[in-house]
Structure 1
Amino acid sequence: MQILVALDQSPFAATVLEKAIALAKNQGAALTIMTVAEDFMDIGDYMDTEKVTEKLLADAKAKADAYVEAAKAAGLTANVLVDQGTSPADLIIEQAQKGGFNLIVMGHQGKKGLSRFLIGSVAARVVAHAPCSVLVIR
């Protein structure tokens, strides 16, 4: 079994990672940790976004390294994927398809805290379009 855990840089991501690690250990599954740095290049006509985009990617890479270390501390070796784009949901779905994952684990809301939804917009899109099962952690 292959599990893809999609994490943002929110405080809740640690809880999602903890659940994914426990599940991977229980199932004897391979765990891949994915973070997505948002890319604001599509609004480049209005402002210089290159430095912001670079900073977001560096932050995502640093957080991904910390997530891998947390998995290692829990006794699990994890692969890591860091991607960048304007749609985190599309990148997660694409990675799930390319990687042949059996399960995606993700949080119900990300760092934006869209309280008007019961499930975050990224999670909802992944659930609707993923090629595999999706476990949404609340």
Structure 2
Amino acid sequence: MFKKILLPIDLQETELAVKALKIATDEARKHQAEIYVMTVLPGFGMPLVASFFPDQAMKEAMKEVAKVIKCYIRDNLPDDIVTHPVITEGNPPEQILKQAKKIEADLIVIPSHTKGLSQVFLGSCAAKVVEHAKCSVMVIKGE
């Protein structure tokens, strides 16, 4: 049923992804699916933000994040599951939806937590993904 699973994680809050990672792994094994482990860097691409950083800064940030996500995959996902690291930059919900479309994901397994009152007014990343995704989305609530 599921052949491509997208697992977006925040590399600064990996403890939030523990349950989502386990569920994605179980689903991948059950369906012989691949897991795309994705992280999104914040908006360096915005002209105002980018103007404060040298041109090389984003390239260096991407290289460092690539190392971190590869280590995360090596340390947390079993070798019997085909995995792909994905690093993008920009607005997280938009980038997750764009990547899901690009890889033709069958399932997005997304960790979620509520950060307080701001989430009530702005909506969470997970809520935006659920609202706009063309595939199934499994939201895994953190503690």
TM superposition score category, shorter chain reference = 0.7 to 0.9
Give ranges in structure 2 of 5+ residues lacking alignment: none
Q: Residues 71 and 77 of structure 1 are in contact (CA less than 8 Å); yes or no, is this contact kept in structure 2? A: no
Moved over 4 A (4+): 50-56
| In 2, Cα distance between equivalents of 1:88 and 1:26 | 28
Give ranges in structure 1 of 5+ residues lacking alignment: none
Q: Residues 44 and 89 of structure 2 are in contact (CA less than 8 Å); yes or no, is this contact kept in structure 1? A: no
TM-score normalized with structure 1 length: 0.79
Instruction: Give the aligned residue type for 2:16.
Output: F
Q: Residues 4 and 34 of structure 1 are in contact (CA less than 8 Å); yes or no, is this contact kept in structure 2? A: yes
Residue 115 of structure 2 is matched in structure 1 by: 114
In structure 2, relative to structure 1, the CA distance for the partners of 1:131 and 1:43 (3 Å cut) is: same
Residue 71 of structure 2 is matched in structure 1 by: 66
TM-score normalized with structure 2 length: 0.76
TM-align CA RMSD: 2.6
Q: Residues 16 and 112 of structure 2 are in contact (CA less than 8 Å); yes or no, is this contact kept in structure 1? A: no
Q: Residues 4 and 107 of structure 2 are in contact (CA less than 8 Å); yes or no, is this contact kept in structure 1? A: yes
Q: Residues 33 and 81 of structure 2 are in contact (CA less than 8 Å); yes or no, is this contact kept in structure 1? A: no
Residue 79 of structure 1 is matched in structure 2 by: 84
> How far 1:14 sits from its partner (Å)?
2.9
Say how many residue pairs are matched.
133
Q: Does 1:8 align with 2:10?
A: yes
- With a CA cutoff of 8 Å and minimum separation of 6, indicate the structure with the bigger relative contact order: 2
